[in-house]
Structure 1
Amino acid sequence: MPMHSPLIRRLLTSALPVSMLLASAAGPTSADPMIGTVMNSYGLPGGVETPTAEALPDGTLGGTISVNELARRNNLVFQLHPRITGALRYSRVEGINDHNELGGHIWDRSFDFRYQFLDEQGWRPAMAVGLQDFMGTGVYSGEYIVATKNLTPRLRATLGVGWGRLGGDQRALDFDEGGKPNIDDWFSGSARPFGSLAFQATDKIMLVAEYSNDEYARETEAGFEEAPGNQVNLGAYYTFDQGYQLGLYTLGGDKFGAQFSVALNPRNAPYPSGLEKAPAPVRPRVAPSADPEGWAGHWAQDPTAQPAIQKSLGDALAGEGQQLEAMALSANRAEVRINNTRYIQQAEAIGRTARLMSRALPPSVETFVITSTSSGMATSSVTLKRSDVERLENTEAGQIAAVAQLTDANPRPADMIETEDFYPRFRWRLGPYLDIGIFDPQDPLRYEAGAELRASYEFSPGLVLSGAVRQRALGNMKQRGPGIPGQRGEHYTPEEYVANPANEYFNGVPRVRSDTRMYTGNHNPTVPELTLAWYAQPSSTIYSRVTVGLLERAYGGASGEMLWKRADAPFAVGVEVNRVRKRDFEKPFEFRDYEVTTGMVSFYYELGENYTAQLDVGKYLAGDKGATISLTREFANGWRIGAFATKTDLSDEEFGEGSFDKGITLSVPISWATGSPSRDRASTELSSLSRDGGAKVNVKGRLYDKVRDAQSVKLYDGWGRFWR
């Protein structure tokens, strides 16, 4: 039976997604995946252009810029799982005109997935199956099965079979369906072999030779460029420092290219041990004979004792970045309520608090209860015996975890005494900001930089007024209207767009996000958000939020949310309702006519191995109804990488190119790069297209993110830092 028969094609098409899901849920394997040493021009471990069966170290986030005479490829790659590699690509492809038969090139978006289903073991090679450009216009569309084997310690060989572009076929382009899975094309057409050899010439230099089926027929058919002279490609790659690589290569001996690659692994921080100061050591209690009064607990009858102890402990905690909000103290038990403002892992904040309690409290206090708070809400309580803290200080963190008790926190205990003069609190920060825009064919890379002033005023526990003001300093982001229907590549000027209210709808769908560029390019000060938020806790497992004001740059109004979450449970359920109105494009405190009510029911589940799944079902900004599914992975040092997809009741025609919304989210803690402890993050969302379907209101301070840090799965995932 030929490999490209309909039966084999259907089996391969069905097996690949299933195998990826099974791999994600699988436990540790008997051997490690084969790790690649060269990133190819498509951004994945490979030869010069062809794929291999290699992977990257688990969790690696990488990027590659590759330029040759026929294409420029900008690739973002992430090792989603030890066996699953994904890539997002934005390429300038020469020799192809768009709908208007203009330009002589296109800017194309594409996604790749690779699954390494076999490890190298003995005589057996590592093997992988992959999809290239499986959700794009089809420019680079292709599939492959590939095997890689170490022949000697310095020589690695790859042999594979490819379909589509990897098999030398150029599939039909579909500009209208870009961003939609082209399932019918998977493993279709003729299958042809490809292969490569990689030789480790020195510790830093890798030499690669490969046989490729890609003759660049589409890029050269217009006659502006000539095809490579043959199908043998050669490359040399120099690795310098940690994770940086520079490559020079030739396609067919007469086309030349260069590329630069960088690979960042969350586990390889610039400052692996951090730069935070060492915590104060546990202070063992003196013998009862040395302090009989302290051990007897008579001090608890003194009305001046708790204020003095609370003041002393609060000052010590402040030095560790912990805010002592309230305290309850008796002869043998102490509960403290702390707000962690410094450490990315709540376990580190709890561990340092326990050490300081051992130093500040009289010896009769045996029970420590450390309650974590967020925006005035008590999110969990960790109960420890003081004798365990003293006994286990110099052991591994798992031993103290085994004797700690995690429970839901009482939201309003009668015996808690608030720290004097703790409220109201005012905080502010002045610093730079940077906005980046990508994936626009007319402006592939847009940016804007300037100064941002952020401030908050907390009137009482959970009642917070906060906002930001920005002043642009430089950048090439300019105000621009959305695309003109039927005129691909043409956009409304700002004046044209606001002159006719009908322009704010496309195919009957309100432009809730596709006119986002109308909010850019302001040279006057802007107000991204200005809100009053009230967080409350009706019970130990129910949390609530009400936020009013300018919720985000494009919308203002009111947002309400409730969340049910037990401290020891891996799942949660939330409900959110928003009533919002579209903000003016230039004037910060004025609004446009569009107004809508949105609502979501959200389900959260911590899958283990640092994965969190979320399902949102409800009504979106454009009035469409549907669901969003997202999967996020978080590492112990705070890195988060995720992917999401949204499908609503909009038809393909109403939604536009892509048919559904999808993208990648990335959040990197500032402490990873600086080494200094901080809860600040640099976050971004990368989506292939800006569409109106499936759009949500961007409300800051949603409840799940507020409470999960101090609860079971997330807390214990970071428990290794308890004694840091």
Structure 2
Amino acid sequence: MNRSPIYRWLLTTAAPALVVAGVVVGPAYPEPMTGTHLNTYGLPGIVDMPTAEGLKDGTLSVSAAWSKLGRRNNMTFQVLPRVTATLRYSGIKGLDPKQGRDYLYDRSFDLRVQVLDEGAYSPAVAVGVQDFIGTGVLGAEYVVATKTINPRLRVTAGLGWGRFANRGSIGSPFGDRPALDVGLGGKPNFKQWFRGDVAPFAGVVWQANDKLSLAAEYSGDAYEREVGAGADKPSSRINLGATYQLGQNYALTGYLIGGKTVGLQFSMVMDPRQSPFPSGLEKAPAPVRPRPSRAADPDGWSGSWSADPTAQPAIQEALKDSLAKEGQILESMALTANRAEVRIRNTRYLQQAEAIGRTSRLMTRALPPSVETLVITSVEKGMPTSSVTLRRSDIERLENTPTTEIAQYAQIGEPAMGGAGLVQTPGVFPRFQWAVGPYMSVGLFDPDEPIRYEIGGKATARYEPISGLIFAGEIRQRAFGTIGKGERSPVEPGQTIVRSDAREYGGKTHPTIPRLTMTWYARPAEAVYTRVTVGLLERAFGGVSGEVLWKPNDSRLALGAEINRVKKRDYDVLFDFQDYEVTTGHLSAYYDFGQGFVGRIDAGKYLAGDWGATVAIDREFANGWVVGAYATKTDMSAEEFGEGSFDKGITISIPLAWATGQPSKDRIGGDLRSLNRDGGSRVRISGRLYDEIRYSQKGKIYEGWGRFWR
């Protein structure tokens, strides 16, 4: 039996997905215990103490807790059904052992794994490490168990090390805990894990009603470091909390620590898969137009119309106009008596399958009856990325059936080289676009100030004289903000500065030019794509950047290479340059593991002349959300790198269509990195090939195939 392409694709995704996400898919295990009551560390918990609960798979939460004991700003992501990760930025007044600041602004990272599911008589069990990449000021480890007594009541008990064993120790079963080496932070504190004193903790959470939950816990944290910095000493080991649900996604918590310290916490929990507008608010597509009978249009069915030299220009012009209303640019078209190929650029729909589906409908309305084979080729920045071949009779027959039916007859493959017979659509090129609007830049996790910002106006322009050649630029005028204020870290003798002077590029009162480039994209061979960019590449560097990518339609693997010759720009962010020049380059490997996980490894030379590698993993959701993490380690030592020890961060990308319901390919988001340091830094190039190509190739088209008939 011949399987359809989509079924073969689904079968090939299963094996690697099981390898990478074995804890996600398994043989009929119970669902992991989930909860939405967040503790002050941003994890499912009681007040301070953790529980063995997780969040719903894929959930992202943000919380901010405040008391006289400190401030904690947390972002938690349920990476897998049993794996929870938290990035935290906390402030403790009067506690900074090295820098002499009023507050210790500390970045920390937690990881928790649920190792046992709850059974009829057994609790769920989780193991976690807290602040294991950072200064270790909030460092703790724990083993915790949680049991559901009834639908409204859960009890928890566990053993804690580190902070969670400041008092009430019952011994040190695994040896002494090494002294905390604050150092430069940013390095895993492996030697401290599960070492030193261990103390019990326990607690209970009661869901009083649909809105209110009450919590009480017996804590092992004496807040020794905060008390030593002048905070009130807790008089009790009992902490109390009350959480009120403000809506489906928001909650407000009040808590009492140790009988003395009152605090507040605001929490927001989001499930990327639950859009405010699940079906979208776009207009319905034009219906498929069935062909007339042969008797009603004998000339149309005979194909004799194709001999008329005026036929294709008229059809192409009509199709161009109707596609433009759908946000599609008809770049070129090839037309014969029984076959039509259109090359489209999708400017509106997040899922390429939706653009293809709407294009196929419009083709049934514009083409003569004899045209049976429809080929829709997706084009990104002048590069054809994939071709979907459909039979017109299948489209007519299956319009009102599930998308899986038409998927069985769709063939997706590499576009033909050369484009024989293609006629460029008149008026498409040259193409000029411009826009004027506001901008806001935000800097987070600065050790001197939690949030820096800049607000102003910008003008952008883009000119494409031919397909694949793009001139683009941006001018900004700052209105107000705090970016650029303050003194940067002192420069050590012989130190190479490439990123640690980032503040010097902000706070300008005159207009600046963050980017001004000429880029040429091409597809010189099947499955091979190239990019050359020249100009002011980013705010801090200008020069030449070249890239080549091998990415076949049927391959989960992609390989790339990039080389840059750049010079450091002057701090005025105009046309002047400093003396520093460098050649950087990387070899890259990308792999789509399935189940929404995509990995990347980049190895090569970075801007400061250091050699090393970056490892990144992203989790992508069907609606376009992307949450990821990365880390870079080079031959630059931790001492040379400075505070943070090595480069690492979190990436978040949210499609605008998710929030508004209106079709759009625009996104908001960015990197959440601990610090701007010189080690492990790359040129920030706009339009790198992998993300330009893959969203309109076979794998992503099939992932979004459910929107073909939208």
Cα distance, 1:291 vs structure 2: 2.0
1:120-176 superposed Cα distances (whole Å, 9 cap, x missing partner):
232232222111001011111111121222111111111222111122279744332
Instruction: Measure, in 2, the Cα distance between the counterparts of 1:683 and 1:556.
Output: 24
1:408-432 superposed Cα distances (whole Å, 9 cap, x missing partner):
1124212000101110000111121
1:604-649 superposed Cα distances (whole Å, 9 cap, x missing partner):
1101011111110110000111111100111111111110011111
Which residue identity does 2:658 align to in structure 1? W
Cα distance, 1:29 vs structure 2: 5.6
2:32 corresponds in structure 1 to: 33
Which residue identity does 2:318 align to in structure 1? S
1:181 corresponds in structure 2 to: 188
1:221 aligned onto 2:228: yes
Q: 1:625 to 1:24 in 2, by over 3 A?
A: farther
Instruction: Measure, in 2, the Cα distance between the counterparts of 1:536 and 1:20.
Output: 35
Instruction: Measure, in 1, the Cα distance between the counterparts of 2:306 and 2:688.
Output: 40
Cα distance, 1:23 vs structure 2: 4.5
1:335-346 equivalences in 2 (<5 Å): 335-346=341-352
Which residue identity does 1:313 align to in structure 2? L
TM-score with structure 1 setting the length: 0.92
1:91 aligned onto 2:71: no
2:15 corresponds in structure 1 to: none
2:691 corresponds in structure 1 to: 705
Instruction: Measure, in 2, the Cα distance between the counterparts of 1:680 and 1:49.
Output: 39
Structure 2: runs of 5 or more not aligned = 1-17, 168-176
C-alpha contact (below 8 Å) 2:539/2:573 kept by paired residues: no
Secondary structure (helix, strand or coil) at the match of 1:528 reads strand
Instruction: Measure, in 2, the Cα distance between the counterparts of 1:526 and 1:429.
Output: 16
Cα distance, 1:88 vs structure 2: 0.8
Structure 1: runs of 5 or more not aligned = 1-18, 485-502
Instruction: Measure, in 2, the Cα distance between the counterparts of 1:437 and 1:667.
Output: 16
Instruction: Measure, in 1, the Cα distance between the counterparts of 2:582 and 2:443.
Output: 27
Instruction: Measure, in 1, the Cα distance between the counterparts of 2:34 and 2:478.
Output: 44
Instruction: Measure, in 2, the Cα distance between the counterparts of 1:21 and 1:189.
Output: 34
Cα distance, 1:670 vs structure 2: 1.1
Q: Provide the identity percentage.
A: 56
C-alpha contact (below 8 Å) 1:160/1:195 kept by paired residues: yes
Tell me which moved more, 184-193 or 242-251: 184-193
Which residue identity does 2:367 align to in structure 1? L
Structure 2 residue corresponding to 1:628, chosen from 614, 620, 631: 614
Instruction: Measure, in 1, the Cα distance between the counterparts of 2:253 and 2:625.
Output: 28
1:81-129 superposed Cα distances (whole Å, 9 cap, x missing partner):
22211111111123523325x4564111100111122322322322221
Secondary structure (helix, strand or coil) at the match of 1:128 reads strand
1:46 aligned onto 2:25: no
Instruction: Measure, in 2, the Cα distance between the counterparts of 1:201 and 1:513.
Output: 51
Which residue identity does 1:202 align to in structure 2? N
Which residue identity does 2:474 align to in structure 1? A
Instruction: Measure, in 1, the Cα distance between the counterparts of 2:302 and 2:385.
Output: 33
1:240 corresponds in structure 2 to: 246
Instruction: Measure, in 2, the Cα distance between the counterparts of 1:310 and 1:718.
Output: 28
Cα distance, 1:539 vs structure 2: 1.2
1:715 aligned onto 2:701: yes
Structure 2 residue corresponding to 1:473, chosen from 475, 479, 503: 479
Cα distance, 1:522 vs structure 2: 0.5
Structure 2 residue corresponding to 1:191, chosen from 198, 205, 209: 198
Which residue identity does 1:671 align to in structure 2? A
C-alpha contact (below 8 Å) 2:534/2:543 kept by paired residues: yes
C-alpha contact (below 8 Å) 2:232/2:261 kept by paired residues: no
1:134-153 equivalences in 2 (<5 Å): 134-153=132-151
Instruction: Measure, in 2, the Cα distance between the counterparts of 1:125 and 1:704.
Output: 45
1:535 aligned onto 2:521: yes
1:70-149 equivalences in 2 (<5 Å): 70-99=69-98, 102-103=100-101, 105-149=103-147
Instruction: Measure, in 1, the Cα distance between the counterparts of 2:28 and 2:571.
Output: 54
1:409 aligned onto 2:408: no
Tell me which moved more, 625-634 or 170-179: 170-179
Secondary structure (helix, strand or coil) at the match of 2:618 reads strand
Q: 1:226 to 1:480 in 2, by over 3 A?
A: closer
C-alpha contact (below 8 Å) 1:194/1:212 kept by paired residues: yes
2:571 corresponds in structure 1 to: 585
1:421 aligned onto 2:427: yes
C-alpha contact (below 8 Å) 1:168/1:214 kept by paired residues: yes
Structure 1 residue corresponding to 2:671, chosen from 685, 688, 700: 685
2:499 corresponds in structure 1 to: 513
Which residue identity does 1:558 align to in structure 2? V
Instruction: Measure, in 2, the Cα distance between the counterparts of 1:625 and 1:509.
Output: 16
Secondary structure (helix, strand or coil) at the match of 1:527 reads strand
Q: 1:405 to 1:625 in 2, by over 3 A?
A: same
Which residue identity does 1:69 align to in structure 2? K
2:304 corresponds in structure 1 to: 298
1:61 corresponds in structure 2 to: 60
1:563 aligned onto 2:549: yes
1:211 aligned onto 2:218: yes
Secondary structure (helix, strand or coil) at the match of 2:592 reads strand
Q: 1:97 to 1:544 in 2, by over 3 A?
A: closer
Secondary structure (helix, strand or coil) at the match of 1:403 reads coil
Instruction: Measure, in 2, the Cα distance between the counterparts of 1:536 and 1:247.
Output: 55
1:489 corresponds in structure 2 to: none
Which residue identity does 1:114 align to in structure 2? R
1:274 corresponds in structure 2 to: 280
Secondary structure (helix, strand or coil) at the match of 2:513 reads coil
Structure 1 residue corresponding to 2:591, chosen from 605, 612, 617: 605
1:355-374 equivalences in 2 (<5 Å): 355-374=361-380
2:255 corresponds in structure 1 to: 249
Secondary structure (helix, strand or coil) at the match of 2:509 reads coil
Which residue identity does 1:580 align to in structure 2? V
Cα distance, 1:507 vs structure 2: 6.2
C-alpha contact (below 8 Å) 2:439/2:456 kept by paired residues: yes
Which residue identity does 2:74 align to in structure 1? N
Secondary structure (helix, strand or coil) at the match of 1:349 reads helix
Structure 2 residue corresponding to 1:441, chosen from 414, 438, 447: 447
1:647 aligned onto 2:633: yes
C-alpha contact (below 8 Å) 1:23/1:83 kept by paired residues: no
Q: 1:43 to 1:507 in 2, by over 3 A?
A: farther
Cα distance, 1:479 vs structure 2: 4.3
Task: Extract structure 1 runs of 4+ deviating beyond 6 A.
Answer: none
Cα distance, 1:477 vs structure 2: 1.7
Cα distance, 1:22 vs structure 2: 5.8
Provide the aligned C-alpha RMSD in A: 1.8
C-alpha contact (below 8 Å) 1:434/1:449 kept by paired residues: yes
Secondary structure (helix, strand or coil) at the match of 1:310 reads helix
Instruction: Measure, in 2, the Cα distance between the counterparts of 1:27 and 1:378.
Output: 39
Tell me which moved more, 86-95 or 285-294: 285-294
Tell me which moved more, 530-539 or 409-418: 409-418
Secondary structure (helix, strand or coil) at the match of 1:219 reads helix
1:262-314 superposed Cα distances (whole Å, 9 cap, x missing partner):
11221122222211111112222222222222222221121111111111111
Secondary structure (helix, strand or coil) at the match of 2:645 reads coil
Instruction: Measure, in 1, the Cα distance between the counterparts of 2:77 and 2:618.
Output: 12
1:573 aligned onto 2:573: no
2:3 corresponds in structure 1 to: none
1:193-219 superposed Cα distances (whole Å, 9 cap, x missing partner):
212211111111111111110011111
